[in-house]
Amino acid sequence: MAIASAKPGKNLLDGSNHTLIMIDHQSQMAFATKSIDPVLLRNNVALVAKAAKEFKVPTILTTVAEKSFSGPMFDEIKSVFPNEAVIDRTTMNTWEDARIAERVNATGKQKIVLAGLWTSVCIVGPALSALDQGFEVYVIADASGDISDEAHQRAMERMIQAGARPMTALQYLLELQRDWARGETYNDTVATAIAHGGGYGLGLIYAKTMFGASEGH
């Protein structure tokens, strides 16, 4: 018989139980991305980066052919992690770069969260590889994108069929916060939601401005 207990489920993310890998958020990759508007993509990427920084999530930043072809990583990421070294690869599959494996092993986390361009290549590769090696994999679908809706959707389906867990950027932020009484991160979470949370952010501005509302923290 199941017994309810006031504890989070083991599949939920928190700041201490996973590694975030942000992959190939670069100009050349974004030019051909059609499954998501580039403005929305950049907004969602900023939301994810700020959430990871706020909750002290071990974060790996990586690019492909930065100097010779694809260009620098989005400033929405680099401005949040100005001192984080970016690993530049030749491999399309991030997981096949030994430096990435070394960083993943150094964090000691069994949950891996992925976001990047393009979903069907640069996210499918590490997702399937990590799953095959026994990691739990989460994919932030709206901080990723591909050359068509079809490419993005089929890639997401392929990863889900293999055991990956899809989520969104705002979901990532709110799952890390999870309790409005968590005062040490409350202000940063609200600020990030206001800046990048779309209609939800507008709602926060309205509620706080019009009648000083808060979420019970």
Catalytic pick among 21, 49, 52, 122: 122
Cβ(115)–Cβ(140) below 8 Å: yes
49 catalytic, yes or no?
no
Which residues lie below 8 Å from residue 84, measured CB to CB, with a gap of 6+?
59, 61
Cβ(162)–Cβ(128) below 8 Å: yes
Pairing of strands 18-23, 136-140: unpaired
In this structure, what are the phi and psi dihedrals at residue 22, rounded to the nearest 5 degrees?
Answer: -105, 120
Q: Per 3-state DSSP, what percentage of the chain is helix, strand, and coil (rounded to 5)?
A: 50, 15, 35
Helix ranges, 55-166 (H): 75-78, 98-107, 124-132, 149-162
Catalytic annotation, residues: 122
